[in-house]
């Protein structure tokens, strides 16, 4: 399983647009084959800092997601919405029960 943490610092004046675009990304991503979960969290100490936590079946699913229209649309506008470069951490994991 592949786990991705994407940290985004949003321009305060662009937060509403960011949230609209993220809703489209979340909705589209959750329907993709290979997606286990896709959740957006807001930092309680910084209202303009968000963390996307993604869980994918494998790297092939991540690669397919990266070429999806909803992700590409967000990627194209991210430069205008974010006040700092997107920070992405990718992890290989397995569920322990």
Residue 33 has pLDDT above 90, yes or no: yes
Q: What is the pLDDT of residues 12-32, one digit of tens each?
A: 999 999 999 999 999 999 999
Banded model confidence at residue 96, pLDDT cuts 50, 70, 90: confident
Banded model confidence at residue 97, pLDDT cuts 50, 70, 90: confident
* Residue-level length of the chain: 97
Banded model confidence at residue 42, pLDDT cuts 50, 70, 90: very high
State the Cα angle at 26 between 59 and 48, rounded to 5°: 110
Q: Structural domains in the chain?
A: 2-92 (3.30.70.100)
List, in sequence order, every beta strand (DSSP E) within the chain.
2-9, 35-42, 49-56, 87-92
How many other CB atoms are there within 10 angstroms of residue 30's CB atom?
A: 12
Q: What is the model's pTM?
A: 0.92
How many other CB atoms are there within 10 angstroms of residue 8's CB atom?
A: 21
Percent of the chain with pLDDT over 90: 95
């Amino acid at each position: 399983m592949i786990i991705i943490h994407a940290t985004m610092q949003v321009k305060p004046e662009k937060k509403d647009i960011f949230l609209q675009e993220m809703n489209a990304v979340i909705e589209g991503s959750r329907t993709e084959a290979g997606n286990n979960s896709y959740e957006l969290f807001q930092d309680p100490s910084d209202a303009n800092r968000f963390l996307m936590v993604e869980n994918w079946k494998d790297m092939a699913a991540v690669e397919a997601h990266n070429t999806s229209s909803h992700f590409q649309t967000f990627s194209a506008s991210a430069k205008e919405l974010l006040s700092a470069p997107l920070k992405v951490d990718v992890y290989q994991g397995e569920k322990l029960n």
